[in-house]
Chain A
């Protein structure tokens, strides 16, 4: 069952809108304002519409350790002010020393953003006056202030799009967990010997998932002196309610060796899927070696665990162990 995986495409929608909006070439503005001479930008378009919204961003370049007050007016085609605002900006840097460490820092607030829709689409201009530029001692500085900026007409709320992508991704993961993590029943059996068997009701739509895990250890304090066994015989059988053997699976499986902090242990993990169309009572039996060959180290079984999930769905086709039809001779 694969359709739930398509839901993973959903979070890509807000991200692609964000990418599309970044493709819009911005109209660039450069203004140089002095205390005597206000600066007026080239005329630019502000368009009314619903596909994104206009955004004007300006960055003032002021000397280090200074504060600035800029008067900004948005003028319409006829030169009438349609908006007036003041920006108080500052830029400061210095060094710090604390606990034998030192470094430099720089902070600033010199950007101006304006987001609004015009009453009607048209050409607009910005007029910037340099009202005040003061040094750190409060004395006026005689320097022009350059403002560089961009005008975009189809900007989108980037933070909201990223948030939407994150939230929808979380919901989609919940959906995938609900589809692929759901089971009609779950059973787990852990024994301290090489044979685990249980009878339980199984079967119906979906698959039966069996996970077998085993762990072997050496007796207390023993150290491995030989190469550990690399393979272990494994058998899995299934009998139905009438006691008839429906599956007899024998295999030789790879054993993994782990070492940590002087301890060594061996593990085996195996997953199988079965399709049991008719519901009923079934008996599962799993066998792994209790000990390994007497010539090697005395590895002993620590535990054998059998996990059974009934009625699971998988995103991709998985290999199924073939069952004998009911009534067929073993």
Chain B
């Protein structure tokens, strides 16, 4: 097999290996007890964070959002 074909094949196998392993293992996923908070999704605020392995509630829980976020098409609003 010519060398460039071996390199391309290796790349394909490597891409599948790395991508599939990372998708299954998700090594960067938050583990309870780890410093900080999990990844935030839309509209989510965490009410504290992990410090030294313990969940510490944040004292300030003031609302900081404006309510409706939807735009609607153009003239609708």
Contact = CB atoms under 8 A, between A and B. Distances in A.
B73 interface: yes
Contacts of A175: 5, 8-9, 12
A81 B73 CA distance: 41
Interface in B56-77: 57, 61, 63, 65, 67-77
A30 B48 CA distance: 25
Interface core residue of A51, A81, A117, A134 (most chain B CB under 10 Å): A117
A83 B38 contact: yes
Interface string A169-181: 0011011001100
Contacts of A51: 24
Interface of chain B, main secondary structure: mixed
Given A50-B24, A69-B63, A172-B12, A92 B68 contact: yes
A26 B30 CA distance: 21
Contacts, number: 156
Nearest to B65: A88
Given A92-B70, A115-B30, A118-B31, 16 more contacts: A11-B16, A69-B63, A71-B47, A83-B32, A86-B46, A90-B67, A90-B68, A98-B74, A157-B22, A161-B23, A164-B19, A164-B23, A168-B12, A168-B16, A171-B8, A171-B15
Interface of B: 4-5, 8-9, 11-13, 15-16, 18-20, 22-26, 29-33, 38-39, 41-48, 55, 57, 61, 63, 65, 67-77
